[in-house]
Amino acid sequence: MTPDLAVNICRKAVQTVLLCSAPMLLAGLIIGLLVSIFQAATQINEQTLTFVPKIVAVFITLLIFAPWIIRVMTAFTLGLFEMLAAL
């Protein structure tokens, strides 16, 4: 295994992780921003108010995107096995 191949595998792994986690991170970011705007407008400074909507949004997003994430991860894993078998 050459260093170029190892770097290429690591690059693809990082891209896959970022691609799979992006929907949940974006949902948490958007909900967090909306809750922060709501708290600033109403001057409610309850700490638990920020966590519950984020957790619910991330969980729902995970349920919606789970089939797509599984397909992406399966494609990456199969490509990795095919690449290692060709060595």
Does the pTM surpass 0.95? The reply is no
Domain boundaries, the chain: 13-85
- Where on the phi/psi map is residue 15: left (φ > 0), alpha (ψ -120 to 50), or beta? alpha
Task: Check pLDDT > 80 for residue 1.
Answer: no
Output the pLDDT for position 50. Answer: 84
- What share of the chain has pLDDT > 70, as a percent? 100
User: Residues 30-63: pLDDT tens digits?
Assistant: 999 999 999 889 888 887 888 999 999 999 999 9
Closest CA to 69 of 2, 32, 9, 20: 20
**Angstrom distances, CA of residue 42 to CA of 28, 37, 47, 53:** 21, 9, 14, 17
* Phi/psi of residue 46, nearest 5 degrees: -85, 125
Contact 47, 35 (CB under 8 A): no
